[in-house]
Chains A and B, each alone.
Chain A
Amino acid sequence: MKIAVLVKEVPDAAVQKRIDPNSGRLDRSGEKNLNPYDTHAIEAAMQIKEGGAVPVEEIVAVTMGPDSAVRALHKAVSLGADRSVHLSDEALAGSDVAATGYALAQVLKRENPDLVLLGQQSDDGECYTIGAVVAEHLGQPSLTQVIKLDIAGTELTCERQAEYGYDTVKVSLPAVISVGDAINEPRYPSLKAIMGAKKKPLENISAADAGVDAGKVGAEGSNVKCGDFKAPAAKSAGTIIEDEDTDDTVAKIVAWLDERKLLA
């Protein structure tokens, strides 16, 4: 079988995120990295491949993004993907979630994988929703927040935590599964894998190559227009203690608890 993993390049978590006041979009300059949630999806794909329950012919990493996003693909192949596909086109800039999911689905249609895996959310967009959009365009079932995945033949048994506790759901392939970060501990790439990553096949495709209808993507093709950024209402901040001398800190906590009669 063939597994496609959707990955994304995101600003490093340590970098302060901000909105570019001119474009109204997320400022994507500065240090970037592979979205940490996606490393769990790659690991899940690798565990299926190494687990041997079903033969996996290849794992393909797919991304959509500007030229720089190629680094996310290098990271993905260093973690085990066999090759990668980069959808990059000016026409795609400014796409909303629904348009992004549509464009990625067009790439996936060309690839025709049996299973699509992705991380639960992107570190920058915090959307949790791309998987469901992609699945709908592919006409396939979708599950999100999956924290355990077993595969037998063409059937997946997924566990996820939902509103009322844990759900167990059986899904038949092809399907789109978004995994939670508790599903596994992603491996670190070996030095050899990092060095070899640039040699693995990488295909660059444009929106037209992927059969993306230009009218359905980009800022113009998106159904939501975001703007009018404003600061949230200020909250009254609590007391903050920096722990320098722990005995002193503890004395302050105890006094604070005492004042509120919490030690009575």
Chain B
Amino acid sequence: MSNILVYALHNEGAFNKNSLGAISEASRLAGELGGEAHAVVVGQGIADDLAATLGKYGATKVIKAEAPEGLAAPVIDVFGKLFEGGGYEYAVFGGGLLGFEIGAGLAARVDAGVTMEVTAVNVEGGKLVAERPILGDSSISTSRYKGKGIIIARLNAFELKESGSDAPVENVDADLSAQAQQATIVTRGEQRGADVDIEGASILIAGGRGLGKAEGFELCDDLAKAFGGNAAVAATRAVVDAGWYPYAAQIGQTGKTVAPKLYLAAGISGAIQHKVGMQASENIVAINKDANAPIFEFSDLGIVGDLNKILPKLTEAVKARKG
């Protein structure tokens, strides 16, 4: 009876990578529990043959409902009914904002335990047990569920694995609750600001809130220019939200994923949502005045100091070398 439901987030004809990872992981876990992983798709006008491809990642059935995409409430409605119908004990969500919103709301609706930022799941005595890093990743806590369990993964926690073939698709009625009808999406996934090509750059000079103000980005621009050629400037979400730099340059969970030869992070704390977008960089250099900033835990070269002092001199030195 231990079947697992997994949410598959969709945008413009493609499923979200974190959702596919969640399906792969749920399929492995369901196998160990002696059950099946069923993927749930909630969206508008998604073709059955596209939905069926979720079977490739291990879903043995795809349950599809026609309802607005990008909002949590319709998904909670669909999952809530599936839980009520019986046969499911767990739900798994890939990392990302909607996973948090849906997972938490669903826990309240079906009276389940919920764990977020999960990095590993194991089977113990026929039940799922989730691991979650806490206290700035200095410790790992284990969650055990009394009854139903809802697991929300950390970004990129689960690897995407192809293991099956197309799955049968079952269309269900979304039957939206009153609260789901109280919210409507006006625009989804709108891009803002100038176009910056950071994905193609081999050197990225990234700036964070430590730059102090929008003008602080001149320090990053100057250093990128000194490197010349294939260097560009990138930014954290904190500065994009503050309007200091265009969204097109944002690295991270809700921005771009990059893997340049050199990623130089100036005044960036290194929050997990930023880290997932740049951790694959070949060489990571961080400048931060706080010796305890998380970024130093995954940088190859860490400079504890004031970027206002270091960046201008570094720019001069790079210019001199290149000149």
Chain A residues lying within 8 Å of B261, measured Cβ to Cβ, are 262
**Residues of the A chain whose Cβ atoms lie less than 8 Å from the Cβ of B46:** none
Interchain CB contact under 8 A, B304 and A240: yes
Is there an interface contact between B116 and A260, defined as CB atoms closer than 8 Å? no
Contact with A along B81-115 (1 / 0, CB 8 A): 00000000000000011101111110111011111
> A263 at interface (Cβ–Cβ under 8 A)?
yes
Min distance, Cβ A247 to any Cβ of chain B, angstroms: 7
Contact B313 A167 (CB under 8 A): no
In the complex, what distance in Å separates the CA atom of A26 from the CA atom of B322? 52
Q: Is the CB of B186 within 8 A of A227?
A: no
Q: Does B314 contact A (CB under 8 A)?
A: yes
CB distance from B231 to the nearest CB of A (A): 10
Instruction: Considering the complex, give the chain A residue whose CB is closest to the CB of B80.
Output: A136
What residues on A are CB-neighbors of B184 within 8 Å? Answer: 169-170
* Beta-carbon contact of B303 and A166 below 8 Å: no
**Interface positions of A from 151 to 167, Cβ below 8 Å from B:** 157, 160-167
CB distance from B183 to the nearest CB of A (A): 4
Which of A145, A167, A230 is packed against the most chain B CB atoms within 10 Å?
A167
State A96–B104 Cα separation when bound (angstroms): 12
Which of the segments B49-57, B71-79, B212-220 contacts the partner chain?
Answer: B71-79
Q: How far is the CA of A237 from the CA of B299 in the complex (A)?
A: 8
Are A249 and B305 within 8 A (Cβ)?
yes
* Bound: A230/B306 CA distance, A: 34
| Best-buried of A162, A181, A228 by chain B (most CB within 10 Å) | A162
B1 near A: Cβ within 8 Å? no
- A246 touches which of B105, B262, B305 (Cβ 8 Å): B305
B9 within 8 A of A: yes
* In the assembled complex, B33 has its CB within 8 A of some CB on chain A: no
Kindly list chain A residues whose C-beta atoms are within 8 Å of the C-beta of B134: 19, 126
- Which listed residue (A160, A161, A249) contacts B303, Cβ 8 A? A249
Does B111 contact A223, Cβ atoms closer than 8 Å?
A: yes
Q: A129: which of B103, B180, B306, B310 is its contact (CB, 8 Å)?
A: B103
Q: Does A133 lie at the interface of the complex (its beta carbon under 8 Å from any beta carbon of B)?
A: yes
A143-B145 contact in complex given A243-B304, A243-B306, A253-B303, C-beta closer than 8 Å? no
B303:A243 contact, CB within 8 angstroms = yes
Q: Is A189 an interface residue (CB 8 A)?
A: no
Residues from chain B with a CB closer than 8 A to the CB of A143 are 101, 183
**CB within 8 Å of B: which A129-160 residues:** 129-133, 135-137, 139-145, 147, 157, 160
Q: Which residues of A contact B (CB under 8 A)?
A: 17-19, 26, 96-98, 101-102, 126-133, 135-137, 139-145, 147, 157, 160-172, 175, 180-182, 222-232, 235, 237-243, 246-247, 249-251, 253-254, 256-258, 260, 262-263
Q: Which positions in B face A, CB cutoff 8 Å?
A: 9, 11, 16, 70-73, 76, 96-98, 100-105, 107-109, 111-117, 133-149, 177-180, 182-192, 203, 237-238, 240-242, 247, 253-254, 261-262, 283-285, 291, 296-306, 309-310, 313-314, 317-318, 321-322
6 closest A-B pairs by beta carbon, nearest first, are: A243-B305, A182-B241, A164-B189, A223-B113, A224-B113, A129-B104
